[in-house]
């Protein structure tokens, strides 16, 4: 079992403590619910980095290099819709939210339609984000606990409690300020990792040579223009499906909306979003590229037969002979692939280059076959679905980075986890308070309570959601394939939520009841597609959104009793628009 050195612990705990204390100090003095939820007066660099940190969970830094290692660079296409989505959110969503001075995205739905639609949007958000925040805690905890030997439950609770404390004390401002520092640590850690992995390449293997080796075995197929609807990542699914997914996430998910609503002006909010539009794709490219370079490193340096060593050890207990045979095959395949790679490098620029590339490709395919067989045996032995790629990058960090930098890279992963958890909790607390508690009190005709009382409600709701997320994370290991299930559930809901907002912004004649029916029909359609088809999940966002718009338009046209809604204005009280 790998353990951290004393210097690693100092770097790790020093980094985390400094960020948390600095954020708590800078955000002291939260006195009312508005400053807790909105965190006003943030500048665009803070907003931009906070937006990036919210989207980058620990899994981004654990799994994405593993994805580059195993599957190459093509996953970067998943983010191709993001820059265009940032432009649309900046041009359309931000002005609409600022005009009405809303505190949550779902508040806008009531201004435009009615309280039922606001409730539907809020419920869909709470369901999806509540589950996702639990997974945001669980997923890195399970990997860190297995690799570092930390107790799983202690890791989950420690991470959750720290985030709850600074989120509740400092509100949105604390979340955004800590995220800025956390993102700076993440970017620094990424840069260090990229430099170290390149320096660790064997003598005589340049960066260009490493890229050529990766290209010869299919790891550098960054873009595919083929239109295959079942292919998860290609240019078109990334651009179109990704556009709708990112538009929904950044335009309607309160965990992101809250980041830019805290801007000191509309311009600051817009520039923060566009900052993300410029730097997100290069950042994902860099993370995947690190994974590809780790792959090339292990072409020349013998990797473990399975990076998830605890799983390997458990499987060996009952299937020792099979694992030993696979390890022998792994060693032979490694040597054949290494020799083929050296042959390919020597043949570059000669007439034999094509033949050497073919030989390397075949050797790499045989090596991948051994890894696949090993995974099957381990999965069968443990009666569980393991994902070895999640362990590749952390194993490399622990085995090959200098002492001190290991602590920095673990800090990067914890920073990423904490930033995503904090955004999730503060947005869940805000939506519960603003869209449900305060709205219900208004509906019941109760007089306004003191701002201190409302602040206490927000803080209590945030704590409650934190405990729910920790509880969910603690129980997550009881369910097989839960992470995959929750990820798919999230993508199923996003199209419908986006459809509600698209109708709200662009189809003025549609009123509340048609859009509600449209949302229900669209949700049913997406669920049927999920159950009965092999369509890539990115397309659910396009189909769900389009179905809401089309069904709402048809119902609006065939039901003469419904009247067009006047456009909401900043002076309209909630519920002013007729339904």
Partner 1 sequence: MREPGHEPMSEVDRPPPFWGRWRRIYWLVAGLFAAEVVGFWLLSRWAS
Q: Which of 80, 113, 233, 297 binds partner 1 (CB under 8 A)?
A: 80
- Asked if 240 interacts with partner 1 (CB under 8 A), we say no
Strand, helix or coil for residue 263: strand
Task: Judge contact between 579 and 512, C-beta under 8 A.
Answer: yes
Return the range that interacts with partner 1 (CB under 8 A); candidates 135-143, 261-269, 311-319, 366-374. 261-269
| Nearer CB in complex with partner 1: 26/98 | 98
The H or E element that residue 327 is part of is: helix 320-347
* Residues that contact partner 1, how many (by CB under 8 A): 34
- Rounded to the nearest whole angstrom, what is the least distance from the CB of residue 215 to partner 1 in the complex? 3
Beta bridge mates, 263: 42
Q: What's the token pair of residue 113?
A: 């339609």
- State the nearest-atom distance from the C-beta of 22 to partner 1, in Å: 27
- Which position among 18, 206, 265, 365 is part of the footprint of partner 1 (CB under 8 A)? 265
Nearer to partner 1, 87 or 165 (CB): 87
The answer to whether 91 contacts partner 1 (rule: CB under 8 A) is yes
Residue whose C-alpha is closest to residue 340's, from 297, 372, 299? 299
CB 94 within 8 A of CB 266: yes
Burial of 30 (0-12, 13-18, 19+ CB in 10 A): buried
514 makes contact with partner 1 (CB under 8 A): no
Q: Select the residue interacting with partner 1 from 22, 24, 26, 98 (CB under 8 A).
A: 98
User: How far apart are CB 306 and partner 1 at their closest, in Å?
Assistant: 28
**C-alpha span between 526 and 520 (Å, rounded):** 10
Say whether residue 222 binds partner 1 (CB under 8 A). yes
Of all residues in the chain, what percent are helix, strand and coil, respectively (each to 5)? 80, 0, 20
Q: Which two tokens stand for residue 397?
A: 């960090």
Does 266 engage in binding with partner 1 (CB under 8 A)? yes
Q: Give whichever of 249 and 540 is closer to partner 1, judged by the CB atom.
A: 249
43 binds partner 1 (CB under 8 A): no
How many angstroms separate the CA atoms of 308 and 149, rounded?
13
For the chain, the first-to-last Cα distance in angstroms comes to: 62
Nearer Cβ to partner 1, position 297 or 437? 297
- CB 408, CB 189: distance < 8 Å: yes
Q: For partner 1, which residue of 270, 371, 375, 439 counts as binding (CB under 8 A)?
A: 270
42, β-bridge pairs: 263
Q: Does 277 bind partner 1 (CB under 8 A)?
A: yes
Task: Measure the CA–CA gap between 131 and 390, rounded to whole angstroms.
Answer: 21
Query: Which one of 4-12, 61-69, 75-83, 156-164 is the stretch in contact with partner 1 (CB under 8 A)?
Result: 75-83
Choose the binding region for partner 1 from 276-284, 341-349, 429-437, 442-450 (rule: CB under 8 A).
Answer: 276-284
The yes or no reply on residue 99 touching partner 1 (CB under 8 A) is yes
Q: Where are the beta strands (DSSP E) in 267-308?
A: none
- Is residue 505 involved in binding partner 1 (CB under 8 A)? no
Q: Which residues 196-215 are close enough to bind partner 1 by CB under 8 A?
A: 211-212, 214-215
CA proximity to 55, closest of 335, 351, 280, 266: 280
- The residue ranges that bind partner 1 (CB under 8 A) are 73, 76, 80, 83-84, 86-87, 90-91, 95, 98-99, 211-212, 214-216, 218, 220-223, 235, 265-267, 270-271, 274, 277-278, 281-282, 285
């Amino acid at each position: 079992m790998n353990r951290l050195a004393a210097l690693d612990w100092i770097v790790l705990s020093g980094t985390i403590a400094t960020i948390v204390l600095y954020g708590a100090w800078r955000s002291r003095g939260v006195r009312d619910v508005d400053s807790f939820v909105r965190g006003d007066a943030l500048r665009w660099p803070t907003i931009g980095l906070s937006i990036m940190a919210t989207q980058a969970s620990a899994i981004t830094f654990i799994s994405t290099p593993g994805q580059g290692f195993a599957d190459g660079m093509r996953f970067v296409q998943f983010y191709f819709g993001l820059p265009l989505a940032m432009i649309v959110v900046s041009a359309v969503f931000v002005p609409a939210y600022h005009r009405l001075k809303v505190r949550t995205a779902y508040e806008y739905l009531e201004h435009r339609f009615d309280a039922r639609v606001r409730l539907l949007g809020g419920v869909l958000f709470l369901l999806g984000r509540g589950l996702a925040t639990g997974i945001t805690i669980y997923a890195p905890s399970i990997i860190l606990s297995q690799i570092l030997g930390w107790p799983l439950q202690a890791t989950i609770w420690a991470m959750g409690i720290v985030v709850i404390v600074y989120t509740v004390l400092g509100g949105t401002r604390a979340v955004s300020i800590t995220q800025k520092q956390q993102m700076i640590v993440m970017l620094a850690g990424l840069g260090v990792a990229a430099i170290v992995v390149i320096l660790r390449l064997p003598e005589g293997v340049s960066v260009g040579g490493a890229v050529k080796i990766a290209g010869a075995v299919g790891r550098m197929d960054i873009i595919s223009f083929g239109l295959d609807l079942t292919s998860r990542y290609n240019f078109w699914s990334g651009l179109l499906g990704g556009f709708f997914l990112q538009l929904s996430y950044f335009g309607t998910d309160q965990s992101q909306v809250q980041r830019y609503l805290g801007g000191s002006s509309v311009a600051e909010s817009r520039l923060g979003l566009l900052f993300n539009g410029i730097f997100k794709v290069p950042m994902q490219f860099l993370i995947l590229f690190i994974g590809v370079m780790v792959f090339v490193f292990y072409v020349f340096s013998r990797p473990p037969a399975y990076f998830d060593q605890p799983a390997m050890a458990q499987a060996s207990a009952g299937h020792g002979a099979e694992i030993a045979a696979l390890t022998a095959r792994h060693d032979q395949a490694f040597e054949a692939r290494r020799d083929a790679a050296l042959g390919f490098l020597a043949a570059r620029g000669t007439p034999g280059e094509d033949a050497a590339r073919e030989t390397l490709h075949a050797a790499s395919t045989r090596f991948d076959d051994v890894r696949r067989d090993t995974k099957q045996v381990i999965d069968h032995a443990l009666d569980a679905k393991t994902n070895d790629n999640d362990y590749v990058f952390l194993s490399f960090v622990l085995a090959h980075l200098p002492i001190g930098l290991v602590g920095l890279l673990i800090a990067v992963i914890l920073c990423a986890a904490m930033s995503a958890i904090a955004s999730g909790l503060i947005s869940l607390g805000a939506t519960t308070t603003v869209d449900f508690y305060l709205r219900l009190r208004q509906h019941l005709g109760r007089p306004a309570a003191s701002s201190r009382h409302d602040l206490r409600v927000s803080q209590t709701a945030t704590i409650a959601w934190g405990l729910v997320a920790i509880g969910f994370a603690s129980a997550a290991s009881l369910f097989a394939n839960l992470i995959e299930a929750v990820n798919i559930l999230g993508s199923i809901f996003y199209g419908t939520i986006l459809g509600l907002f698209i109708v709200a912004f662009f189809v003025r004649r549609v009123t509340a009841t048609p859009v509600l029916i449209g949302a229900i029909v669209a949700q049913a359609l997406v669920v049927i597609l999920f159950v009965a088809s092999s369509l890539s999940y990115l397309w659910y966002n396009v189909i769900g959104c389009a179905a809401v718009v089309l069904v709402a338009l048809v119902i609006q046209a065939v039901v003469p009793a419904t009247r067009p809604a006047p456009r909401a204005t900043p002076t309209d009280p909630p519920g002013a628009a007729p339904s």
